[in-house]
Chains A and B, each alone.
Chain A
Amino acid sequence: MNVRVLAAVAALMIVSTAAAAAEPAPGGIAWYGTWQGGLREAERSGKPILLFSAAPHCRGISGKW
């Protein structure tokens, strides 16, 4: 994934890691795991919601998306 993609996603995500225009955090994306939680944060921040849903199992075997 190129740097421009990362930059665009970081700007849009309601869970942006660019807290105070500081360096990006070393971790990954911090996802809100429930609709209610994510919506609450979106309404607080006024930012759009990037929603991705996936099944946390593969053919009935948990532990892999």
Chain B
Amino acid sequence: MRLATYENKAEARLLESLFVGRSGRLENTVFTILSSDGKRELLHSSRGPIMTFGGTSPLAVREMVDTLGVLSLAYPGKKDAKQEDAGLPVLADLRLALNVAACDNLPLVVIVGGGKSKTSAELEEDVRRLAWSNELTGRALYVRVTDTKQLAAIEAADKKPGVLVVQPDTFGLKGKTLARIATDAGVAKLKKDLLAAVNRFDRESRRQFQHVVEGRKEGIDWKTAVPVTDPGRPPRRGLGSRPAPRRSS
């Protein structure tokens, strides 16, 4: 799973229990591997794979590969759990989803709930099955919307129940509708229209520095759910620069 740091209080507490840096506070990134019940760390938590495995040298990469290999053998999963039954990987809400879609440079599939011809659950089930198809896996992000007022952020969004495929803007604050698929579309049409829209998605190319400069010019100021506590620079070494206690494995 990939969480958005500082966007949910409960998740921030969980992340803080896994790893804090020398600042003693939750920092921008956290990386770990947990047991399937989420209760045990199977890997030393850190800011990222480079920290966990000691760099990017061939030796470090080898260690990562070997470690992942050992874990995959030790924890193969349930034999009767089928991949095609995996849940839909949704994001928490539309506001965050637009931002994450911009970060990932991917289209956003918005499931607008309600309707008479098909229930929200049935519509979502159709999308779920397609999300895990070979053609679509990893090529879009997903979010469900029940409060249609949120759709104000999407240009030309139809508030009727259905599926929207959205192109986020550069800063992930608004979106443009690439396709709208009605609730009574069968799975075949849903797949065809989803694929067509995903293939129409326009991938931006912008360097980090340029993005920040442009964002500052436009007055962009993303508000997080919890305060950002990453110091933004490595802490000074010496007395007092020790991390907070970590939860035991």
Contact = CB atoms under 8 A, between A and B. Distances in A.
Contacts of A35: 1, 3, 8, 10-11, 14, 38
Interface residues of B, number: 84
Contact of B30 (A42, A52, A59): A52
B86 A61 contact: no
Contacts of A56: 4, 7, 96, 99-100, 103, 172, 222
A51 B65 contact: no
A53 B99 CA distance: 15
Interface stretch (B70-78, B146-154, B159-167, B177-185): B70-78
A56 B30 CA distance: 13
B132 A19 contact: yes
Interface string A18-53: 111011011111111111011111111111111111
A33 B81 contact: no
Nearest to B204: A63
A60 to B, nearest CB: 5
B65 A5 contact: yes
Q: Quick one: which of B38, B171, B220 has the most chain A CB within 10 A?
A: B38
29 contacts: A8-B65, A12-B68, A12-B72, A34-B1, A35-B10, A37-B87, A37-B90, A39-B1, A39-B38, A42-B34, A45-B36, A46-B78, A47-B36, A47-B77, A48-B33, A48-B34, A48-B75, A52-B30, A55-B28, A55-B228, A55-B230, A56-B96, A56-B222, A58-B212, A61-B211, A62-B172, A63-B171, A63-B211, A65-B103
Interface of A: 2, 4-5, 8-9, 11-12, 14-20, 22-23, 25-35, 37-65
